[in-house]
Amino acid sequence: MVDRRTFAGRLLPRPLMITALLVAASLVAAACGSTGGDSSVGGEETAPEVPDATEEAPGGAEDPGEDSEDGGEEPDDAADAEHSYEDGDVLRVVIPVGPGGGYDVQITLLTEALQPELQQLTGTDVIVQREYMPGGAHLTGMQHVAHAEPDGRTILYATPVEGVRHRVIEGEDIDFREFTPLGSLAQVTTGYVARADLELESWDLEGLAARSQEQSILIGHPSPEPQMRIMFGLFSENGIDVEADYVTYDSTAEVGVALLRGEIDMGMSSTIALSRAVDDNPDELRFFAHGGCERLAALPDLQTLVEMGAPEGETVCSALHTERRALFGPPGFPAGDAAVLTEALRNVITDPAFVAEFEAATAEPPGWQEPEELAEYVDVLISMWEANAHFLQ
Amino acid sequence: MFDGLGEALPIFFSLDMFLALSVALALGMVTSIIPGIGSLTTMALLLSFTYTMDTYVAMAFLVTLLGVGSFAGSITAILINVPGETQNAATLLDGYPLSQQGRAGEAIGASATASALGASFGILVLVASMPLLRQVILSVGPPEMFALSLSGVVLIGVVSRGNPARGIASGLFGIMLAFVGLSQALGGHRYTFGIIDVYDGLPLIPIVIGLFAVPEIYELLRQNRTISSSGTLVKGGIARGVTAVLRRPAAVVRGSTIGTWIGLVPGIGGAVAPWVSYFVAKARSRDPDSFGKGNIEGVIAPETANDSKDGGALMPLLAFGIPGSLSMAILLGAFQIHGIVPGQRLFDQNMSLVWVILMALLFANFTSSLVGIAFAGVLVKVTLVPAVILSPVVLSVAMIGAFADSRRPSALAITLGMGLLAVLMVRADFPRPPLLVGFVLLPILERNFHQSLQIYRGSYTFLLRPITLGILLVTFAMMFAPALLNAWRRSRRPALATVGTAPAPADPTPATTATGRGATVTAAPALTSVLTKVLVTALILACALTMAITSRDLDPTARLFPLVVLTATIVLTGVMLVRDVQHLASARQAGLPLLGERGTFSDRWVTGWLLVLPALVFTLGMLVGSALFVALVRVFYDRAPLSTGVVVQGLVLASATGVCLFLLFERFLRITLIDGALL
């Protein structure tokens, strides 16, 4: 039997000593690392670019244009920009939701096409990797990227309106104006489906308001209840009082089933997704309205809320019923990397073959937006939400 | 009903299909057997590989991965007390005690056969009832789902052996942990204390691994023994397990029927069906007291329900596009990418695809069971591997599995924290399964409760809906059924009455009962044992009080459910604490020894070694740190004199562990592991 009663053994058991030594070593290493950050991997290339890009936020996307001297066409600018990608680099696309569902389908289609495009543009074998980071209703993934090293290797696929909601409603420290917009992939518009037996004389808003005075309209939805609260608040300010109560479901499909069960009067979700439930059950469900600013090509006969006389139409359709899903880099994203990524994204998303594939899978075409447009959209979105936040109190 | 079957058969029996399903089977078996990985990660990873496949092949490929996971998860539950998937948790109640008795082969044989037969029978039930499915699914709304999930929570309290108060306290503690994160009522955060890593709640996989794997590793190391207490295996076990199932056709039919029908309820099936099946089997058994001690029926019942529920769970997805779980959500994504729209039109226009999916599920369950039986002889030898080799490898893999789920370093802290708490729970006779089930079911319970209230505009009349009321009444009856049955049995068999009332160890996996090489065991009660009870009870009470105080800042709707649960917890644990303290005082007066059972190594020694792993991981990185940990434990843990053989063995183990982890996680699963501060 080994003698355990050594001096060190009496003082502290061996594993604890090892632990203590290793922790001490880690602390020393961490301390060295924090003082000598420039010596970390990749630091030499990215560090000098960070201050410039940060100062110009949110116009990270504007960098390519502003940096170029000849002011030529954007694709040429992007091609000229210096990027830092090298063979074997991994570009992490953080997805703030779990795998599965429409959100995932969109980004999966994109990343599968993006990798070869990026490899061709950069001349490297850079790997595009999806990383699911669900949590906190998109907040975990957003916060992760917001605080990620701006080294061109981590980007976010997000719905800015989710970040705006967290900011306006919960006061979370997330500001999409500080992210670096890279381009938009999709535009999702929401609409309303009612049970066929909903007693309404017509589909007009006055009729809905009158009906709701007898008993409030019960609206089922997968998540964006604040949008509806703001909308009905705006209606109320304009003399249309719709009394509504809300039931939250996990998915559009559940909203459809809830309508079939008779649990709710109306369902609100992606118009295209709802159309599947209506197509399957034409005798039981009918569309009430489309919330987007323009009629959908897939449902040309469906009126928009604006056409139906919804007050504050611009806010209702653009800020409350249209959400963009787009790619962003963290604040201070290197301009050269942003430029090459934007070009790769543009090439993929506007490619007819990709458009066809995307439309076949999601029933809607992709909605490309340049970084400048995206930055503008985020600005408008935030100001509209902040202006109407009082309806949520 | 059989439309499309003729078209589906040649598609299913094609060469392409055979090759794809074989690959899915192999990958599914390997990844599902690793704690923390499971079929979900594999499905998410391989989803993009299915884009270029034919639609039928792609769907069958993914369904095979799903089906394989259901059975493969039971292997780890049986062998090392870690459920591969949450739905395998009920299997460990009797599966692991069988392993400790050297009967792991019998348990795996029974689990494999029950899985294959359960899935087959479940699919038959499903096909026969297909014309009714739409109506069945539409008749189950939030009120019914609330009642069903409530029955799950109640059942687990009833099923747990030992002191019912501790079982309920454990379940309440699980529910309390599930309150952390997003409120199911309003969507806001609660009890997160500003920690962003828990904004979406405490992660499930680290909780499962901490709760079940860490205490077993701890005890194996402390007692320096093998899982099989005797260090031997009972011969002919696999065949005995297979025949045990074949001799119980009624049990298979019962479990499969329960699994299929409960499986139809989105989101609930996996968590509830195995427990209901286990409960029914125990209630109908002539020897209910043997459940939890290694009764083979305790393996058959949950596994038949577990595997038959997959067919049921597919139906809400196929008929309405409702994904009841993350795996189903991935399948839905694959549907979309291949242009398939779930719904009535799928059944009307593409019934052949539904048949192919059902056949793939059947294939997955049958072949994975066959593979399980074929390799059971090798797998069971895990129970004979010495602790200094098995424990560090399992702990390293489990830690990486816990990390891989959320990709956050905090997962390691949660795993170890929960693990050390679970060690105390085992010693204090607090059963662990209720904690897990409470944790899993609370979000479903709370969400459906609030949905029901919203639908009924704040009225509680939803409780009077016929099916809801029926489920609640049955649940209420089940709460008291064991006591009534016991009373009835005692009245019938007065001579045996005292046997039934003998106190039994509360945890189904009493890691403290086995003796091993060098173990010094004294079974007499000791002061530390009573003290541990006081400690665990006080800990739960302190958590409840802290959360109750914090609840003041929450919205009234968001705190409704927590306050009900916290009040119940505070009252229950308060009474328990008073009784435990009284017990402690009387134990001191009675002169009980300070220490009861002692292992070969002290708690300080074992705890210290467990902390070495995260220290190494954060210092040297996950790969190198884990490999080095394996070597260090092998060479230094047992304080044996150093020999060349042991050092070589340690180096070989470390190299093999490092290479396997690198290939699996970094290369195949593309998971970026933690980098160390020094490397």
Return d(Cα B418, Cα B408) in angstroms, integer. Answer: 16
Distance of CA B168 to the CA centre of its chain: 18
- Mean pLDDT, range B148-168, rounded to an integer: 75
List the one residue out of A248, A226, A392 whose CA is nearest residue A319.
Answer: A226
Return the pLDDT at A26: 57
The band of A44, judged by pLDDT with boundaries at 50, 70 and 90, is: very low
- Residue A94: pLDDT band (50, 70, 90) is very high
Confidence of residue A78 (pLDDT cuts 50, 70, 90): very low
Mean pLDDT of A60-70: 37
pLDDT at A240 over 50: yes
Q: Dig out the tokens for A177 from the structure.
A: 């104006």
CA–CA min distance A102, chain B (Å): 7
Tally of CB atoms within 10 A around A65:
18
pTM check: above 0.80: no
Q: Number of CB pairs < 8 Å for A and B?
A: 170
Helix or strand (DSSP H, E) at B133: helix B130-139
pLDDT-derived band at A54 (thresholds 50, 70, 90) equals very low
Q: Name the residue in chain B with its Cα closest to that of A132.
A: B406
Highest mean pLDDT among A92-106, A323-337, B196-210, B587-601: A323-337
Nearest to B265 by CA among B353, B145, B175, B123: B145
pLDDT of residue A368: 94
**pLDDT tens-digit map of B35-56:** 666 677 778 777 777 877 888 9
Whether B345 and A218 lie within 8 Å, measured CB to CB = no
Taking residues A47-66, what's their average pLDDT?
Answer: 34
**For chain A, percent helix, then strand, then coil, each to nearest 5?**
50, 15, 35
Predicted pLDDT of residue A340: 95
Q: Which of A275-279, A313-317, B398-402, B479-483 has the lowest mean pLDDT?
A: B479-483
| A42 shares contact with chain B (CB less than 8 Å) | no
DSSP class per residue in B556-604:
HHHHHHHHHHHHHHHHHHHHHHHHHHHHHHHHHHTT--S---B-SS-HH
Lowest mean pLDDT among A45-59, B139-153, B587-601: A45-59
Alpha helices in B338-465 (DSSP H): 344-349, 351-379, 387-406, 410-427, 433-455
User: Among A255, A228, A227, A222, which Cα is nearest to A242's?
Assistant: A228
- When CB atoms are compared, the residue of A101, A108, A140 closest to B200 is A140
**Does pLDDT of B173 surpass 50?**
yes
CA distance B471 to chain A (A): 19
The ipTM is 0.73
Chain A interface test: which of B454, B517, B670 (most A C-beta within 10 Å): B454
* Minimal CA separation from B7 to chain A, in Å: 24
SS3 B190: strand
In this prediction, residue B160 has a pLDDT band, given cuts at 50, 70 and 90, of low
Q: Measured between alpha carbons, how far is A305 from A286 in angstroms, rounded to an integer?
A: 15
Asked if A247 is an interface residue toward chain B (Cβ–Cβ < 8 A), one would say: yes
* Chain-chain contact of B138 with A260 (C-beta, under 8 angstroms): yes
The band of B511, judged by pLDDT with boundaries at 50, 70 and 90, is very low
DSSP, collapsed to helix, strand or coil, labels residue A368 as coil
Using the predicted structure, report yes or no on whether residue B608 has a pLDDT greater than 80: yes
- Which of these ranges, B61-70, B332-341, B469-478, B503-512, has the smallest mean pLDDT? B503-512
> What value does the mean pLDDT take over residues B156-178?
80
Closest by Cα among B135, B464, B192, B149 to B316: B135
- pLDDT value of residue A53: 32
Taking alpha carbons only, the member of B246, B206, B222 closest to residue B515 is B222
Which pLDDT value is given to residue B336? 77
Task: Give the other-Cβ count within 10 Å of A66's Cβ.
Answer: 11
What's the first-to-final CA gap in chain B, in angstroms?
62
Residue B299 in this model has a pLDDT that exceeds 90? yes
Q: What is the pLDDT of residue B185?
A: 64
Contacts of B188 in chain A (CB under 8 A): 170
Query: How far apart are alpha carbons B125 and B308 in whole angstroms?
Result: 9
Percent of chain A scored above 70 by pLDDT?
78
* A43–chain B Cβ distance below 8 A for any pair: no
Chain A residue with minimal CA distance to B605? A13
Residue B317 has pLDDT above 60, yes or no: yes
Contacts of B141 in chain A (CB under 8 A): 258, 261, 263
Higher pLDDT, A111 or B503: A111
Find the mean pLDDT for residues B259-268: 80
What does the pLDDT look like over B114-133, one tens digit per residue?
999 998 888 888 788 777 87
> What average pLDDT score do residues B199-204 get?
82
pLDDT for the residue B517? 36
pLDDT digits (tens, 9 = 90+) for B626-651: 999 999 999 999 888 888 888 999 99
Instruction: Assign A158 a pLDDT band (cuts: 50, 70, 90).
Output: very high
Q: How far is B317 from chain A (nearest CA, A)?
A: 9
Per residue in A319-349, pLDDT tens? Answer: 889 989 999 999 999 999 999 999 999 999 9
Residue A164 clears pLDDT 50, i.e. is over it: yes
Contacts of B605 in chain A (CB under 8 A): 13, 15
Report the share of chain B in percent with pLDDT over 90. Answer: 29
Tell me the C-alpha distance between B226 and B232, whole Å.
Answer: 9
Q: Give me the pLDDT at residue B525, please.
A: 59
Mean of the per-residue pLDDT values for chain A?
Answer: 80
Whether A22 sits inside 8 A of B455 (CB atoms) is no
pLDDT at B456: 92
Q: Do A30 and B677 touch (CB under 8 A)?
A: yes
A183-202 pLDDT, tens digit each: 999 988 999 999 888 777 55
Residues 6+ apart with CB under 8 A from B659: none
Tokens 């309003």 -> residue: B186
Interatomic CA distance for residues A243 and B128, integer angstroms:
45
Q: What residues of chain A lie within 8 A of the CB of B449, using their CB?
A: none
Going from the C-alpha of B526 to that of each of A243, B162, B348, B523, B592, the distances in angstroms are: 65, 18, 68, 9, 6
What the block records as the tokens of A91 is 């570009």
- Tell me the mean pLDDT in the region B351-368: 91
| Segment among A77-91, A100-114, B600-614, B655-669 with least mean pLDDT | A77-91
Q: From A361, which residue of chain B is nearest by alpha-carbon distance?
A: B337
Which of B565, B642, B498, B533 shows the shortest CA–CA distance to B184? Answer: B565
Q: Among B66-70, B239-243, B629-633, which stretch is predicted with the lowest mean pLDDT? A: B66-70
Q: Which residues of B touch A261 (CB under 8 A)?
A: 138, 141
Average pLDDT of the segment spanning B491-517: 45
